[in-house]
Amino acid sequence: MSEKVNCGSRAVAAGQLPLGVSEAAWAEAVRRETVIRPLCGAGRLGQAAVAAAVRGLGLSAARVYALVRAFRQRPVTAALVPATPGPRKGGRRLDPGIEARVDRAIEDVYLKPERPTLKRVLIEIRRDCSAAGLKSPSMKALTARVTARSLRERVKAREGAKAAGDRFRQVKSGLRTERPLQVVQIDHTKVDIMLVDDVTRACIGRPWLTLVLDVHTRTVLGLYLSLDAPSATSTALAVAQAVLPKTEWLADRAIGLACARPAGNHPCRQWP
């Protein structure tokens, strides 16, 4: 049969204690709760009640008041678990002079486009601390202080603003459609071919391709190819081809497509 201990309004079985809390610490928290809970229920703490709690718990009056405040803010047994002795998590124990030299080395050496290694930074810190008669920090201490800095800040300083932007910029979702022809996009691109004269073979240049695309199906609805740069004219001609029938256009060019659409592109129309 498993032993039960009270956790606020819940029962917690031994062996299922909160993460990181020993059985002894939990038992002490339960003992404290039997004294602190009645005090929290009282509107105002009297000296006699506090004195009784001091005697019952073997704590100072200041500690009893602190436990009452903690339990009122969070009325569960876990709020009364004794604090684990030792340094506070995330706290820094290096001498202030060493801390200042570590921070300066990170700023002046590590956060540079040359991207020096942590080993190189530690060598600089040790040289600086030795000159000042201070004990050098360990690699673990240096690593902890570097990783405590924002990753975006580190990437921006060492790899550049563009790399930081590419890595951390919020990616916006694309256009979302529910049916074909709900949204149509027009795009211009310079074709990766070079045209030459049929006779002289002189280079004419690279043509521009204007495409009308259906966002939902990614189908090419119309196109226009020209040596002229994109303009309102090329856009209008591409749109005209997109909405007009293409049967004759395909026949003139001897293009036989089984999926060729016999009519123009109109919203919500079902194509065979």
In sequence order, what are the residues at sequence separation of 6 or more whose Cβ sits closer than 8 angstroms to the Cβ of residue 242?
A: 184, 212, 221, 222, 264, 265
In the chain, the domains with their CATH numbers are 4-80 (no CATH), 96-168 (1.10.10), 184-252 (no CATH)
Of 203, 210, 248, 244, the closest CA to residue 226 belongs to: 210
- This prediction has a pTM of 0.40
Cβ 158 vs Cβ 121: under 8 Å: no
pLDDT of residue 93: 74
pLDDT at residue 85, rounded to an integer? 65
Residue 115 pLDDT > 90, yes or no?
yes
Give 270's DSSP letter: P
Lowest mean pLDDT among 168-172, 250-254, 263-267: 263-267
pLDDT at 51 over 50: yes
Reduced to 3 states, what is the DSSP secondary structure of residue 210? strand
- Position 178, amino acid: E
Do residues 239 and 231 make contact, with C-beta atoms less than 8 angstroms apart?
no
Least confident segment among 104-108, 179-183, 244-248, 261-265: 261-265
The reported pLDDT for the residue numbered 232 is 92
> What are the tens digits of pLDDT across the range 204-222?
899 999 999 998 888 899 9
Both tokens of 101, joined, read: 């030299």
